[in-house]
Structure 1
Amino acid sequence: MFWWRNEVRPGVSVAFTDTGAGNLALHVQDNPSEVMARRARLEQVIGLDNHGSGKRHFQYMDQVHGNHVEFIEGHGPGPTADAMVSAAPARPTASSGSAQPLAVMVADCVPILLVGTDANSSPVLAAVHAGRPGVASAVVPAAVTDMQRRGAADIAAWLGPSVCGSCYEVPEQLRAEVAAKIPETWSSTSWGTPALDLPAGVRAQLAALNVPVEYSGECTLENDSLFSYRRNSLTGRFAGLVWTHD
């Protein structure tokens, strides 16, 4: 069910699912009720329903390959965005006292989970979807900036599995256009054609912001236990997850 999972800071965990958790996306050719059942099972395994203030749910988003960041105060309809930030409410209530759990779905793009701490030592969380357009339009720096604007410091990042620079073949002109903005993305496939290294580009953007990368996942195309759109365009989506637990 999990490709990687860890408590990265006291009371904060991140995880990346694999094909064992099944497809978690509603926008692919799958039965919506089965997708929702898988999401519920995932929340049960993680223990979101054991939270003292009541059952919680991961917030998903309608990802559009842009750079819009949405602040999430509580679970609701998925926003149209490619990054979400959540934090403990300034005035906690009995039903809402911690940061909203967040999810990002991918099948080759880079899923980024960010964790920082505000002045009250409360976690500030972010989930980011960074495909080629998102990396080129700086969605990751936009998410970090939004976290910082909300008081987050000591931000660190966890990068989930994504297609690697040796496998992500693109036209030569496209490689040149993206690399003109983020030189670290310039790459070649293992068979010698133009490619983009999106994880390298994300790591470079984070390094420029002094955000350390604590984990960087493997290549989706090279691992059958992960969904990969490049391997099969009818594939499902796995998820990157970040949540707090009391």
Structure 2
Amino acid sequence: MSDSRTLSGVHPVDLGDGVHAFFTTGAGGVSPAPWSTSDGGGLNLGLNVSDDAARVAVNRSLVAERLGAPVAFATQVHGDEVLELGPGDRAAWAASRPPASAGEGDALVTAEHGLGLGVLVADCVPVLLADPEARVVGVAHAGRKGVLAGVVHRVLDALVARGADPARVRAVVGPAVCGRCYEVPAAMRDEVAGVVPEAYATTRDDTPGLDLPAGVLAQLAARGVAASRVHRCTLEDPELFSHRRASGAGTTTGRQAGIIALI
């Protein structure tokens, strides 16, 4: 695989020795508007947003080049299913025609060296996790339904089953819509806050809101996991894809990703 590693717009994060992790933005790929956030090509990594599948394949290959490993993606359904990937999956995703999906689920875990995991988002919370000592990594897609379902707890359970210790796990919560921007009905805010009080928010317009990144951080802390947050709001940041921003404009948009691998 090429070692050019020149993909623009990447936000790298440190999750320990032997772990390579970053978040993509909307720039650096080959997709045109509306799957682009700049005058250049867009790095849309999602297959379910009407972009041409061949362009998405090129964009995904650019991410794999930047990572230095093939990257597996799941078909995300806003649930709590965790898919565990191994050597056979690495071979499949490294093939000249990789699968479109690792299966239905909202979290991926692997102890396989050289296999990247990707989590797709455009307002939901991407979570990257690693125990560098146990040599196991995971990703989770935590939207409102995922936070309620406890997808963060499920992915941590899967990591622990592979030898991880929550006290050693390092996690980062990536760019997502912030509590100032994520307006929801009051009943919806109450439902989520009843399970995760830290997600309770009020928007800048003084209306009911949800701070899902804060909720995810609280769920991680409750398990003893040290976590950090990338303070970039997808709705406010024009370099990032936002489903809510696009919907408000009557159009569609792409999907950025959190990416992690044992290297």
TM-score after normalising by structure 2 = 0.82
Give secondary structure in 2 for the equivalent of 1:18. Answer: coil
Question: What aligned pairs does 1:1-246 form with structure 2 within 5 A after superposition?
Answer: 1-21=8-28, 22-48=43-69, 57-73=70-86, 74-75=89-90, 76=92, 77-88=101-112, 98=113, 100-117=115-132, 121-153=133-165, 154-233=168-247, 234-245=252-263
Amino acid at match of 1:37: V
Q: Which moved more, 1:39-48 or 1:105-114?
A: 39-48
Maintained 8 Å contact 2:67/2:116:
no
In the alignment, structure 1 segments of 5+ residues that lack a partner are: 49-56, 89-97
Task: Give the whole-Å Cα distance in 1 for the aligned partners of 2:10 and 2:232.
Answer: 10
Task: Give the whole-Å Cα distance in 2 for the aligned partners of 1:45 and 1:200.
Answer: 29
> RMSD between aligned alpha carbons?
1.4
Amino acid at match of 1:185: A
Amino acid at match of 1:25: G
1:122 Cα deviation from its structure 2 partner: 4.5
Amino acid at match of 1:86: T
1:111 Cα deviation from its structure 2 partner: 0.1
1:41 Cα deviation from its structure 2 partner: 1.6
1:99 Cα deviation from its structure 2 partner: 5.6
Structure 1 match to 2:34: none
- Per-residue CA deviations over 1:166-192 (Å, capped at 9, x if unaligned) read 100000111111111111111110010
Give secondary structure in 2 for the equivalent of 1:223. Answer: coil
Q: Which moved more, 1:141-150 or 1:208-217?
A: 208-217
Identity, % of aligned positions: 40
In the alignment, structure 2 segments of 5+ residues that lack a partner are: 1-7, 29-42, 93-100
1:217 Cα deviation from its structure 2 partner: 3.4
Question: Following superposition, which runs of at least 4 residues in structure 1 exceed 3 angstroms of deviation?
Answer: none
Give secondary structure in 2 for the equivalent of 1:29. Answer: coil
1:60 Cα deviation from its structure 2 partner: 0.2
Task: Give the whole-Å Cα distance in 1 for the aligned partners of 2:13 and 2:194.
Answer: 36
Amino acid at match of 1:196: L
1:146 Cα deviation from its structure 2 partner: 1.0
Task: Give the whole-Å Cα distance in 2 for the aligned partners of 1:72 and 1:214.
Answer: 25
